[in-house]
Structure 1
């Protein structure tokens, strides 16, 4: 299990430069504000996801009660919607101008992808990468809470009450 988690962590990070090269190098998308904002949101959420999978792998390996860094992830769960809204405003501002579609639509797509990643990490599991996930989805016919959402809920229940 830890090797699968480490693989997830590495792949999240590898996707950042890979997408940058493909989008801005191969496809030659212009570095317009909307495209850069969408990419920044996308990269931020992938870094957060990678950090969580590294922490989860370390938790499994050490048999700890919970992964490290949950207070930070609790802050990110609240900060991300603000950042997503700010990035969305930059993208919306791009739609208001008379610019070619390549200056706005790719950034809008990346911002939507970042929003989906936030939901996938902090709320419900949207990605189903293995047979067990798919079988559970078919059996229950509903999305399940994400691993991070469950860890955050579990740590909130088990934390000592404030003095």
Structure 2
């Protein structure tokens, strides 16, 4: 289990340069809308990688919770402000007449970041192994994400 979670941490972190390379190779224009969407996605992926690293350390050290839960609780709230700011940048670009690759990649990246926010902080949308798929098919419903469950446990846990 720890090995799989460490793998998730590495894969999440490697996605940042991968998406940057795709944006460069695709020659995505560096507009405010595109930068807002891409920056937001990078931030969410970095948060996911940090969580999986903390989760792997928790399991390896047999700790009750991953370290940094107060930080993740703050990020969950701060991300909402960042989503609103990025949406405002995208809306301003659309209102200013930007079209095509000057704005639509930013919209799609913003939506991808939103999916990542839901996947990390609310419900598990990613089902990338047999156990996850079997549970989804067996229960026929999405389950709370690991981070959401850890945040709940941290909130209920009395302060030392």
Q: TM-score range by the shorter chain?
A: over 0.9
Q: Which residue of 2 aligns with 1:145?
A: 144
Map residues 11-160 of structure 1 onto 2, 5 A cutoff.
11-23=11-23, 25-160=24-159
Separation (CA, whole Å) in 1 of partners of 2:72 and 2:159: 18
Deviations 1:25-79 (A, max 9, x none): 2110100110000000000000100000000000000010100000000101111
Tell me the TM-score normalised to structure 1 length: 0.94
Separation (CA, whole Å) in 2 of partners of 1:43 and 1:140: 32
Q: CA deviation at 1:137?
A: 0.8
Separation (CA, whole Å) in 2 of partners of 1:78 and 1:99: 30
Q: CA deviation at 1:160?
A: 4.0
Separation (CA, whole Å) in 2 of partners of 1:57 and 1:160: 23
Q: Which residue of 2 aligns with 1:3?
A: 3
Separation (CA, whole Å) in 1 of partners of 2:19 and 2:154: 34
Query: Structure 1: where are the runs of 5+ without partners?
Result: none
Deviating runs (4+, > 4 A) in structure 1? Answer: none
Q: CA deviation at 1:102?
A: 0.1
- Aligned residue for 2:67, secondary structure, equals coil
Tell me the TM-score normalised to structure 2 length: 0.96
Separation (CA, whole Å) in 1 of partners of 2:148 and 2:44: 15
Separation (CA, whole Å) in 1 of partners of 2:153 and 2:22: 39
Separation (CA, whole Å) in 1 of partners of 2:75 and 2:68: 11
Separation (CA, whole Å) in 2 of partners of 1:69 and 1:121: 15
Query: Structure 2: where are the runs of 5+ without partners?
Result: none
- Aligned residue for 1:99, secondary structure, equals coil
Separation (CA, whole Å) in 2 of partners of 1:7 and 1:121: 16
Separation (CA, whole Å) in 2 of partners of 1:126 and 1:85: 22
